[in-house]
Amino acid sequence: MNLQDIKQRFGIIGNNPLLERAIDIARQVAPTDLNVLINGESGTGKEVFPQIIHQNSVRKHGQYIAVNCGAIPEGTIDSELFGHEKGSFTGAHEARKGYFEVADGGTIFLDEVGELPLTTQARLLRVLETGEYIRVGSSKVQKTNVRVVAATNINFTVAIEKGKFREDLYYRLNTVPINLPPLRDRKDDIYLLFRKFASDFATKYRMPAVKLSQDAEQALVNYYWPGNIRQLKNITEQISIIEKERDITLECLLQYLPNYQTNRLPALAHSGNGNASSSDMNERDLLYKVLFDMKKDLNDLKKVVHDIVNTGSGSLSNLSSDDTLAGERIYTNDNNFPVVSGSGDHKVHSPIIVKESGHGFSQPIVVEESLSLQDKEIDMIKKALKKHKGKRKYASQELGISERTLYRKINEYNIEE
């Protein structure tokens, strides 16, 4: 079965090279009995790939069972997977076969495998190594011939370091890794998926399909899509049902895209196949806040100087002594040009100098100012603490970081509260 046949049979939309690479790996590994681990964010369509592998293998006439490991309570997961004997625990009124026994000769898909308890991980490792397992409440060893395909959206490196996942089991599962790209990395496929979903819902609800204006289409493509394909499908269905107009404008679409501007911030790249830790994310958000505030300050100063040059006078009537840029006061000297002064223990920033010439001003001479991120970060922390009267909980919320990160930075920079 070639690539296009697989896409058509399993309803896969898109031509992204990363997606096609994942499909190709699944197609090549299918005839073997190797274990496969599918990595990808929630909502990227991981559940389709075990079916591709099963249907293109010699096991396609055997049982295919999909198990959501995160949805089964810890107390019953062993019984679900490996079965139990009558009377082995309260409520076990009769013996029961587990999934590994039922799927003998077939394929088991373990979704969210990172959620398995450590005791169950040990049992699973034995099945993968020897094909042997023991029912709950029994001492008899049984054999099974099952292919395991697992999927997860967790960072295994972090989980292993924290002792939440067995390293030996990880290497057993990860014989062949398949990495699915998030929707934000498949920009050319986003509108294709939207049109497919819109067409499907038009047929389902017997109504004309919704269409996007050009700027709405651009916004759809630029959105971050934290929920990936699942989120896109849900939003398309909402629009199809709720909106009476079939031509969707940008303003209409933005009502359905949560935190549109926030989610367009650039993402920080990390090595490996996992997500950044919460500490990394908090520091990243703080740095973004600093950088965007610095950019705004510089743009405001450029506008002031531009207005002075164009009007040909030294008046800064549009600025009062109470005007501030990111908390810093703007003053004027005898020549009526702005001088930006730091507050607290900070050094004075170099002013933007506008040289007077005749009745107007010549081109502004910009003296390089301090652009230290550390100084800006310290200044923002001090202002947040002052604003909230030293209450770290509210200061950390204002800065967009955790209390723990704020406490560490206060100690690191020796900030007096």
Report, as an integer, the average pLDDT of 158-170: 95
Query: Which two structure tokens, joined as six digits, stand for 134?
Result: 């023991």
Q: How confident is the model at residue 327 (pLDDT cuts 50, 70, 90)?
A: very low
Higher pLDDT, 398 or 95: 95
The type of residue at 194 is F
Contacts 24+ apart (CB under 8 A), 268-273: 272/155, 272/157, 273/39, 273/155, 273/156, 273/177, 273/179
Higher pLDDT, 342 or 187: 187
Q: 3-179: which CATH topology?
A: Rossmann fold (3.40.50)
Report, as an integer, the average pLDDT of 228-244: 95
Q: Which of 212, 154, 225 is nearest to 186 (CA)?
A: 225
Higher pLDDT, 200 or 306: 200
pLDDT in tens, 45-85: 999 999 999 999 999 999 999 999 999 998 899 999 999 99
pLDDT in tens, 276-305: 444 444 566 666 667 767 777 777 777 777
Report, as an integer, the average pLDDT of 153-169: 93
User: Residue 221 and residue 357: Cα distance in Å, rounded?
Assistant: 50
User: Residue 367 and residue 349: Cα distance in Å, rounded?
Assistant: 10
* pLDDT given at position 342: 45
Query: β-strands 36-39, 176-179: how paired?
Result: parallel
Higher pLDDT, 334 or 166: 166
Q: What is the sign, positive or negative, of the torsion defined by CA atoms of 298, 302, 304, 305?
A: positive
Instruction: List Cα–Cα distances, 39 to 31, 45, 173, 242, in angstroms.
Output: 20, 10, 11, 34
The answer to whether residue 316 scores a pLDDT higher than 90 is: no
Tracing tokens 């900030």 back to the chain, one arrives at 415
Instruction: Break the chain into its structural domains and give their ranges.
Output: 3-179, 184-264
Q: Which of 156, 157, 169 is nearest to 120 (CA)?
A: 169
Q: What is the pTM of this model?
A: 0.62
Q: Over the range 236-266, which residues count as b (16 or more CB within 10 Å of their CB) and which as e?
A: bbebbeebeeeebeeebbeebbeeeeeeeee
Q: 184-264: which CATH topology?
A: Helicase, Ruva Protein; domain 3 (1.10.8)
* pLDDT given at position 323: 44
* pLDDT given at position 268: 45
- DSSP-H helix ranges across 149-277: 156-161, 167-173, 187-205, 214-222, 228-242, 250-254
Q: Say whether 184-264 and 3-179 share the same fold.
A: no
Mean pLDDT for the chain? 82
Q: How confident is the model at residue 356 (pLDDT cuts 50, 70, 90)?
A: very low
Count of CB atoms situated within 10 Å of the CB of 141: 11
